[in-house]
Chain A
Amino acid sequence: MARKLPAKDVVIVGLGWTGSILANELTDEGLDVVAIERGPWRDTATDYPPAYAADELRYRIRHELFLRPEQTTFTFRNKMDQTALPIRTWGAFMPPNGVGGGGVHWNAETWRFLPTDFVVRTHLTKRYGAHFLPADMTIQDWGVTYEELEPHYDKFEYLCGTCGTAGNLRGQIQEGGNPFEGARSRPYPNPAQQQPFGPTLFAKAARDLGYKPFPQPSGNMSRAYTNPLGVRMGPCTYCGFCEWFGCGNYSKASPQTTVLPVLLRKPNFQARDNSEVIRINTDRSGKRATGVTFVDTAGNEWEQPAELVILAAYTIFNVQLLLLSGIGTPYDPVANTGVVGRNFTHQTTSDVTSFFDPAKFIFNPFIASGAIGMCIDEFNGDNFDHGPHGFVGGGYMGQLQTNGRPIETTPVPPGTPKWGAKWKQAVRENYQSTLKPGTGVHGSMYSYRDVYVDLDPTYRDRFGRPLARMTIDFHDNELKQNRFLTDKFAEIFQAMGAKQVMKEYRKGPYDITAYQTTHLCGGAVMGADPKTSALNRYLQSWDVPNLFVMGATAFPQNPGYNPTGTVGALAYWSAAQIRSQYLKSPGPLVRA
């Protein structure tokens, strides 16, 4: 039996990017806020100090910062007629754990989506006709436009100190930036980081081929920065231990380096770490959340009553909590009804490894940061005519110099033995003269009727709750897209003078063991129609108006960019509406 705690105005489930932002915005309204985080507390100097932040074995290989599968996991299958099995070692993505969430261990790529991404079904149907889209593709418009989100993108970028070169300033295309991006109201808060040799060479070759290369927008500081909350960051040292790692010297945008220092000073904010929310409670009508129930490390169950519940956990866990709490209609792919679990997506990435003449090229791959690199956007979204190609979607591609780490990044030409003296010799010969971006082609994954999340019929977690089950596979559209993009990407390395270019196309079936990105999206998507979305355009549950669901959970499909910029923008967009409208008159912000 759960013991009841004193009621709060707001309870937030998860203290990562969106949890911290919502907590900061709502405490500014004077509300009494508690955030409940499943994982441990994390501080820069005590949890990932420079003395061991760069421990590849500990963080990259042994997954120090990620969810421990003993805490919970989920089950996976490719097809609806298969039996899903539990994931016991993370592979395709890395579920975060602890305060700061994925914001601790991301690479800090901080993109905006294209204006057409938000109206993708309308746009593609208009341009190519309704029959151009595969019949089982369930992509849909977001219910919010780029123009509406722009001030909130801006707010998130200034919180993070994003470094980049604007490509479209108030409608004026800017030299050196991404000409395809939506209009931004002001430049990035910081200039782009300095580019190493590899990305510089890539940009030159791309320009020669007629593309418009630009620096990837980055949350690794190009200089010291003070954000609008007064929190300071130091300049990045290009150490090359960014993604999978915490930043030891306050140089990577994270909740710890941007918002938590301010939040923690507030008397009306409280955080509980190492406490897992197991259920969102509702009243007898099922139309009103009364708070959450969580379990602490000692196994004690507590009820935390609250007027407003913000779900801000990792994508799939948001969906699982909704399903376990009986909020919203579960998605049924056979009947094609229900919304919770629907439009679940991930990513379609691939890479190209290019070998250059060691006598002529020294790339120093260890001079790196999470989001450094030069990109092109010609093949993202609908920036090109898909008519002749028979697929939709796309992605950015770029020479991103994220690391030259000794365990992970030892590229050798095809045909080299996997170990032994010959392998060592090949590593020695090629380490300095090989380019391997890691995620060079960062493609979209659109949504399909048979890709979804539901509750597993067999496997349960340590509290006896059914695990979330993901059913996911690549569809032809994505594989075609990837082949086209990978070929285009490889052409640039050939133009750079590589002696050998190795294309690593993404192939089906979807592989749960091979890392792509941590960008799981969807499952409780936003939209204009409660029949096809779990949340309205303000991320408010259609069914339980005092529940808001943050994060990429709300993406109806995954466009060809990293999601965090949009996750942050949506958090501010939702927070602004809660502050300006909801708190004055709690209830549905959109009439169904």
Chain B
Amino acid sequence: MALAALCAGRAAAGAESPQDFAQIERGRYLAIAADCTGCHTGPVRGSPFAGGRPIETPFGMVAAANITPDRETGIGSWTDSDFDRALREGIMPNGSRLYPAMPYPYYTRMSKDDVRAIHAYLNTVAPVHHAVHSNQLPFPFNIRGLMRLWNSLYFEPGEYKPDPHKSAAWNRGGYLVEGAGHCAACHSPKNFLGGDRSGQRFRGYSLQGWFAPDITADPQRGLGNWSDNDIVEYLKKGHNRLAAASGPMAEEVEHGSSKMNEADLADIATYLKDQPGQADRAQPVDSADRSMKVGEAIYLDRCSACHKSDGTGVAYLIPNLAQSSSVNSRLPLTTVRVILQGADSVATPAEPTGPAMPAFAWQLNDAQVAAVATYIRNSWGHAAARVTSEDVSSARKDLAKDKD
């Protein structure tokens, strides 16, 4: 299948002048798919591209740049090839290196035409004069030159290569997931330097105090029990019969996938459902275990009014814990965090309700949170390692630091 046709997507690519509406419109759509505004927003009201938002990385803070076409503080003086080089190679016009908080290791999979379309679109937004000091990392990570080494280890530049043995839908999905969508940026396990661990792609990873769950076909920890339509609904509406998006994924849905067309989301589902999950299975904690008994009592008393005694919740309103990959994640981070802090689910045009989970940090102690988390992670067919009081205690400390 022809790469050009694949990358052009569903919006027809027209003649490429800076005023070409079809190209600008395609760029607007791709900017949504790439969720540019998720990071490049900031304090300037009414301009989601003016930057300044601090992005938390395991190494420190990086502030998102101003990507409006302001010539001094934005990217107004950049040429198409400057923009292409930044997005697909991680190198700025002055030759300095970007940090992979800007997901160029994924954007590199996008086609030159699509990146040019995004640039064409960004050139149409109102320029905002807003200087951003991007690099707020501590030594030695503040040395941008170190990224040369990082890139040599973990960065594999190059456009997405379609698999000729797979369908057009699979390949379109792959192009979006691997490129603009940069799903692996959160959902793939990383090594200690933040590089993707090979062979474990999309099997879930922790960031910003959340665990971005496994999104492979793993039926226990991943999306194996989700239909294609479940995935489409989740990305489009933020809610489906089983789950609700909250935390960083709520932002992605709000700014990104809820605005994408359903055909693209269906292709993403096709691709994700074909990603291999982990083979090994965790052993469930014995239901006769004391923490399971205590956890069950707390669950029935505090949780079951909404999530029901059997964990099934209410479709599109209260998440189904019995079939939740977040609950059954390798690490209990999200479960513990949501019990402690509560969570706002995303509200979208299709699902405006935006129900919220209340916080229990004030009411349950570490041992109680650990017990109820252990219980829900080992009930209804789930199996996962026991959650300890120490896990909860350290999550509490992290949350206290993060006032966001």
Q: A51 and B317 in contact (CB under 8 A), knowing A44-B355, A250-B355, A265-B352?
A: no
A232 contacts the other chain (CB 8 A) = yes
Instruction: Write out the residue numbers on chain A whose beta carbons fall within 8 Å of the beta carbon of B355.
Output: 44-45, 232, 250
List, in ascending order, chain A residues with CB within 8 A of B314's CB: 224, 232, 234-235
Expressed in whole angstroms, the Cα–Cα distance for A43 and B357 within the complex equals 11
- B352 close to A229 (CB less than 8 A): yes
Chain B residue at minimum C-beta to C-beta distance from A249: B306
Are B356's CB and A50's CB within 8 A? no
Q: Which residue of B lies closest to A229 (CB)?
A: B352
Contact check, B342 vs A45: say whether CB atoms are below 8 A apart. yes
B358 touches A231 (CB 8 A): no
> A265–B352 Cα gap in the complex (Å)?
8
**How many Å lie between the Cα of A347 and that of B363 in the bound state?**
41
Among B350, B357, B363, the residue within 8 A (CB) of A230 is B350
Decide yes or no whether B125 CB sits under 8 A from chain A: no
Q: A45-B342, A239-B305, A261-B347 are in contact. Are A224 and B352 (CB under 8 A)?
A: no
B262 within 8 A of A: no
Name the distance in Å between A370's Cβ and chain B's nearest Cβ.
15
Q: A250 to B353: give the CA distance in the assembly, Å.
A: 10
Q: Which residue of B lies closest to A50 (CB)?
A: B305
- The answer to the question of A305 belonging to the interface, with a C-beta cut-off of 8 Å to chain B, is no
Q: Is the CB of A50 within 8 A of B302?
A: yes
Provide the bound-state CA to CA distance between A401 and B66, in Å. 60
- Complex formed: what's the CA distance from A388 to B284 in Å? 75
- Hey, which chain A residues are within 8 Å of B305, CB to CB? 50, 237, 239, 248-249
Q: Restricting to A29-83, which residues have a CB under 8 Å from any CB of B?
A: 43-46, 49-52
Q: A44: which B residues are within 8 A, CB to CB?
A: 355-356
Point out which of B302, B314, B342, B347 has the most chain A C-beta atoms below 10 A from its C-beta.
Answer: B314
Say whether B44 faces chain A, with CB atoms less than 8 Å apart: no
> Of residues A50, A233, A237, A239, which shows the largest number of chain B Cβ atoms within 10 Å of its Cβ?
A50
Is there an interface contact between A51 and B363, defined as CB atoms closer than 8 Å? Answer: yes
- Hey, which chain A residues are within 8 Å of B318, CB to CB? 234, 249-250
In chain A, what residue has the closest Cβ to B304?
A237
Interfacial chain A residues near B356, Cβ < 8 Å? 43-46
B315 at the binding interface (Cβ < 8 Å) = yes
Give, as a whole number of angstroms, the nearest-CB distance from B304 to chain A.
8
**Contact: A45 with B317, CB < 8 Å?**
no
Q: B360 within 8 Å of A by Cβ?
A: yes
Query: Do residues B317 and A233 form an inter-chain contact, with CB atoms below 8 A?
Result: yes
User: When the two chains form the complex, which single residue of B316, B352, B358 contacts A50, counting CB atoms closer than 8 Å?
Assistant: B358
CB contacts (< 8 Å) of A229 on chain B: these are 352
Contacts A50-B305, A265-B347: A231 and B342 contacting too (C-beta < 8 A)? no
Name A262's closest neighbour in chain B (CB-CB). B352
Which of A237, A249, A261 is the one whose CB lies under 8 Å from B354? A261
Cβ-Cβ contact count across A and B, 8 Å cutoff: 67
Contact A234 B358, beta carbon cutoff 8 Å: no
Q: How far is the CA of A352 from the CA of B275 in the complex (A)?
A: 66
Taking CB atoms and an 8 Å cut-off, the chain A residues in 238-283 that contact chain B are 239, 248-250, 261-262, 265
- In the bound complex, residues from chain B placing their C-beta under 8 Å from that of A234 are 306, 314, 317-318
* B241: min CB distance to chain A, Å: 11
B360 & A51 in contact (Cβ 8 Å cutoff): yes
- Chain B, range 296-321, C-beta contacts under 8 Å to A: 302, 305-306, 314-318
The CA of A10 and the CA of B302, in the complex, are separated in Å by: 42
| Shortest Cβ gap from B311 to chain A (Å) | 14
The residues of B that contact A248 with a CB separation of less than 8 Å are: 305-306, 358
Closest B residue by C-beta to A45: B356
Name the CB-closest residue of B to A48. B358
Q: Which of B306, B316, B352, B359 contacts A261 (CB 8 A)?
A: B352
Chain A residues numbered 376-425 whose CB sits less than 8 Å from any CB in chain B: none
Q: Does B351 contact A (CB under 8 A)?
A: yes
Which residues of the other chain, B, contact A233 by a CB distance below 8 angstroms? 317
> For residue A51, which residues in chain B have a CB less than 8 angstroms away from its CB?
302, 358, 360, 363
Q: Mark B316-344, 1 if CB is under 8 A from A, else 0.
A: 11100000000000000000000000101
Contacts of A262 in B (CB 8 A): 352
Assembled-state Cα–Cα distance A250/B305 (Å): 10
A51–B353 Cα distance when bound, in Å, is: 21
- Complex: chain A residue closest to B237, CB-CB: A230
Find out whether the CB atom of A232 lies under 8 angstroms from the CB atom of B347. Answer: no
Alpha-carbon distance A239/B318, docked complex (angstroms): 18
Known contacts A50-B302, A51-B360, A249-B305; decide if A261 and B317 are in contact (CB<8 Å). no
Q: How distant is the Cα of A422 from the Cα of B98 in the complex, in angstroms?
A: 79
Complex Cα–Cα for A250 and B355 (A): 8
What distance in Å separates the Cβ of A224 from its nearest Cβ neighbour in chain B? 5
**CB closest chain-B residue, reference A44:** B356
B242 to chain A, nearest CB (A): 14
Taken together as a complex, chains A and B put the C-alpha atoms of A481 and B336 apart, in Å, by 59
CB distance from B259 to the nearest CB of A (A): 14
Taking CB atoms, residues of chain A closer than 8 Å to B302 are 50-51
**For chain A residues 2-46, which have a beta carbon within 8 Å of chain B?**
43-46
Nearest neighbor of A227 in chain B, beta-carbon distance: B353
Give the nearest-CB partner of B360 in chain A. A51
Q: In the complex, A230 Cα to B317 Cα: how many Å?
A: 11
Q: Is the CB of A49 within 8 A of B350?
A: no
Find chain A residues with CB under 8 A from B315 CB: 224
- Complex: how many Å from CA A45 to CA B358? 5
Pick the residue among A43, A46, A49, A231 that contacts B353 (CB under 8 A): A231
A119 to B359 Cα, complex, angstroms = 51
CB interface residues, B 34-91, toward A, < 8 Å: none
Q: How far is the CA of A44 from the CA of B302 in the complex (A)?
A: 15
Give, as a whole number of angstroms, the nearest-CB distance from A223 to chain B.
10
Tell me the bound Cα distance from A526 to B253 in angstroms: 47
Q: Is the CB of A261 within 8 A of B353?
A: yes
CA distance A237 to B344 in the complex (A): 22
Least CB separation from B307: chain A residue: A249
Minimum C-beta distance from A354 to chain B (A): 30
Name 22 interchain pairs, CB-CB below 8 A, sorted by A: A43-B356, A44-B356, A45-B344, A45-B355, A45-B356, A45-B358, A49-B359, A50-B302, A51-B358, A51-B360, A224-B317, A230-B353, A231-B353, A232-B317, A234-B306, A235-B314, A248-B306, A249-B318, A250-B353, A250-B355, A265-B347, A265-B352
Write the residues of chain B forming the contact surface with A, with a CB cutoff of 8 angstroms: 302, 305-306, 314-318, 342, 344, 347, 349-360, 363
Apart from A51-B302, A232-B317, A265-B347, list 13 A-B contacts with CB within 8 A: A46-B358, A51-B358, A226-B316, A229-B352, A230-B352, A232-B316, A234-B314, A234-B317, A237-B305, A250-B306, A261-B354, A262-B352, A265-B349
Chain A residues with a Cβ under 8 A of chain B: 43-46, 49-52, 224, 226, 229-235, 237, 239, 248-250, 261-262, 265
Closest 9 CB pairs of A and B: A49-B358, A45-B356, A45-B358, A234-B314, A249-B306, A232-B317, A232-B353, A261-B352, A50-B305
